[in-house]
Amino acid sequence: MKSINVLNKYNILIKRGIINSCGEEIKKISKANTAAIVTDDNVAKHYLDAVTASLEGAGFKVFSFIFPHGEENKTIETVMKMVEFFAECGLTRSDIAVALGGGVCGDMCGFAAAIYLRSISFVQIPTSLLAQVDSSVGGKTGCDLKVGKNLVGAFHHPSLVLIDPDTLSTLDEKYMADGMGEIIKYGCIRSKGLFEKLESGEKYADIDEIIYECVKIKADIVETDFMERNERMLLNFGHTVGHAIEKLDNFSGLSHGMAVGVGMVALSKAAEAKGLTKVGVAEKIEKLLEKYGMPTETDYEKEIIANAAMNDKKRRSDSLNIILIKDIGEGYIYKTECDKFGDFLKGAE
Ligand SMILES: NC(=O)c1ccc[n+]([C@@H]2O[C@H](COP(=O)([O-])OP(=O)(O)OC[C@H]3O[C@@H](n4cnc5c(N)ncnc54)[C@H](O)[C@@H]3O)[C@@H](O)[C@H]2O)c1
């Protein structure tokens, strides 16, 4: 078993099969009598019985809340149903919520735990690759509003994260690729070794070790900059452009990880043209994305992408922090102005 401690507050344990002993692990860190599992209908089919049995075996009284899967259900209404459910089950401040699922489930369950009784503890059992390498680590919780994604939320750390790579066996290839987008991003911003391992290895080879390396990178970054004032911004490499593409597609085109991949290539090409990124880096990222069956470009004009990206940012400030990489593994923050972002992106044309 691999273990990573975050902020001296909680552990992330990575082990195949750990889902079947989650009750024992949770018992070690919690005095709760009752555990409320939160999961979606897809994940419930595969893992709810095992998690319920393990929690009951460890002596917890167990309730489960199942919501319909999908980002479209990551709403304040679903979160409210969760907290009403916690109340109906009689959860007290010393009880615990268990998020069993992907990032949608983890973000909403964490948020419900943050606001119910002014905060109760929760445990993350992430079952998608993206949730295992990214969303279950770092304490960001929340849900979407009609005008945009993740606009409501709270910072609330889990008390424990249990990562079972075996759960990836039931995950659709499309979502595996989504997680890979984030994994490639970690290589780009922080670890040349990880990037080279992905380049040279078979597809998904050594995935347990890769998950561990990514979690370690994210945990390190979160430790240095919990409130996202500086270092944590590096995690947004590719995201400004990626979000813009998702928005232009009305969130029904490229998936998040794929859009981020396209964003990493577009930014690196533009930065190469300006001497801000070593020449050849964008091509390396392109090749790695292609290996995992991910797109590397979009048909949208650069100007249109820039406008879509800046609509959000400009509401907050005229200045803009773009995440670039000097070379593979060397992410940095480049400061510019919102009005110049279109010209920046077009630099590669
Ligand atoms: N909190 C953070 O720091 C953070 C970081 C990145 C992303 N996110 C959020 O994460 C969400 C995306 O996460 P996601 O891609 O995991 O989405 P998701 O939770 O919707 O999961 C993707 C799909 O896979 C299914 N699924 C999950 N695990 C499965 C398994 N083991 N077997 C079979 N099916 C399974 C789900 O039912 C769903 O249909 C977004 O809402 C995003 O905003 C949060």
Distance 101 CA to ligand 1 centre (A): 7
Tokens of 161: 């994260």
Question: What is the whole-number distance in angstroms between the Cα of residue 71 and the centre of ligand 1?
Answer: 8
Q: Are residues 120 and 148 in the same domain?
A: yes
Residue of 38, 43, 246 best suited for mutating to test ligand 1, as the one with most atoms within 8 Å of CB: 43
Q: Which residues line ligand 1 (CB under 6 A)?
A: 40, 42-43, 46, 69-71, 74, 101-105, 107, 127-128, 130-131, 134-135, 138, 140, 149-150, 167, 170-171, 175, 178
pLDDT at 315: 56
Same domain, residue pair 280 and 224: yes
- Alpha-carbon gap, residue 151 to 98, rounded angstroms: 23
Mutate to test the pocket of ligand 1, among 79, 104, 185 (most ligand atoms within 8 A of CB): 104
Give, rounded to a whole angstrom, the gap between the first and last alpha carbons of the chain.
48
Query: Rounded to the nearest 10 degrees, what angle do helices 239-248 and 256-273 cross at?
Result: 130
Q: Which two tokens stand for residue 312?
A: 């959000």
User: How much is the pLDDT for 227?
Assistant: 62
The tokens for 74 are 């990551």
Q: Say how many Å lie between the CA of residue 131 and the centre of ligand 1.
A: 6
- Looking at the structure, tell me whether residues 166 and 209 fall in a common domain: no
Ligand 1 centroid distance, CA of 341 (Å)? 30
53-57 long-range contacts (CB < 8 A, ≥24 apart) are: 53/23, 54/19, 54/20, 54/21, 54/22, 54/23, 54/24, 55/22, 55/23, 55/26, 55/98, 56/23, 57/23, 57/24
Domain end, chosen from 170, 203, 220, is at 170
Nearest CA to ligand 1 atom 34: 171
13: domain CATH number is 3.40.50.1970
| Tens digits of pLDDT across the chain (349 residues) | 999 999 889 999 999 999 999 999 999 999 999 999 999 999 999 999 999 999 999 999 999 999 999 999 999 999 999 999 999 999 999 999 999 999 999 999 999 999 999 999 999 999 999 999 999 999 999 999 988 888 999 999 999 999 999 999 999 998 998 999 999 999 999 999 999 999 998 888 899 999 999 999 999 998 887 666 678 899 999 999 999 999 899 888 888 899 999 999 999 999 999 999 999 999 999 999 999 999 999 999 999 999 888 876 555 677 888 999 999 999 999 998 888 888 888 875 5
Q: Please identify, by atom number, the ligand 1 atom nearest to the C-alpha of residue 167.
A: 31
Q: What is the CATH number of the domain that holds 285?
A: 1.20.1090.10
DSSP state, residue 45: I
The residue out of 119, 135, 170 marking a domain boundary is 170
End position of a domain, from candidates 155, 170, 185? 170
Ligand 1 probe mutation, 16, 175, 243, most atoms within 8 A of CB: 175
Burial of residue 71 (number of CB atoms within 10 Å: 0-12, 13-18, 19+): middle
Residues 129 and 207 in one domain: no
CA distance 119 to 97: 11
- For residue 97, the one-letter residue type is A
CA of 175 to the centre of ligand 1 (A): 8
What local confidence, expressed as pLDDT, does residue 176 receive?
Answer: 93
Q: Phi and psi for 13 in degrees, rounded to 5?
A: -105, 130
Residue with tokens 């880096």: 281
Domain identity same for 14 and 159 = yes
Give the domain range for residue 318: 173-346
CA-wise closest residue to 141 among 104, 175, 116:
104
Whether residue 11 sits in one domain with residue 128: yes
- Is 188 found in the same domain as 140? no
Mark whether 106 and 147 lie in a shared domain: yes
What distance in angstroms lies between residue 118's CA and the mean position of ligand 1's atoms?
Answer: 26
Supply the pLDDT for residue 348.
55
CA of 130 to the centre of ligand 1 (A): 6
The total number of structural domains that make up the chain: 2
Look up the pTM and report it. Answer: 0.94
> 300 with 334, same domain?
yes
Neighbours of 21 (CB within 10 A): 17
Residue nearest to atom 22 of ligand 1 (CA): 102
Residues 112 and 129 in one domain: yes
Calculate the alpha carbon distances from 180 to 130, 294, 325 in Å: 8, 9, 18
If one residue of 6, 19, 47, 107 were mutated to test the ligand 1 pocket, choosing by the most ligand atoms within 8 A of its CB, it would be 107
Whole-number Å distance, alpha carbon 104 to ligand 1 midpoint, is 5
Distance of CA 239 from the midpoint of ligand 1 (Å): 17
309 in the same domain as 200: yes
Query: What is the per-residue DSSP string for 89-149?
Result: TT--TT-EEEEEESHHHHHHHHHHHHHGGG--EEEEEE-SHHIIIIITSS-EEEEEETTEE
Can you tell me the distance from the alpha carbon of 245 to that of 249, in angstroms, rounded to the nearest whole number? 6
Nearest CA to ligand 1 atom 18: 102
Closest CA to 13 of 283, 211, 145, 197: 211
User: Ligand 1 mean position to 10 CA, how many Å?
Assistant: 22
Pair 134, 282 in one domain: no
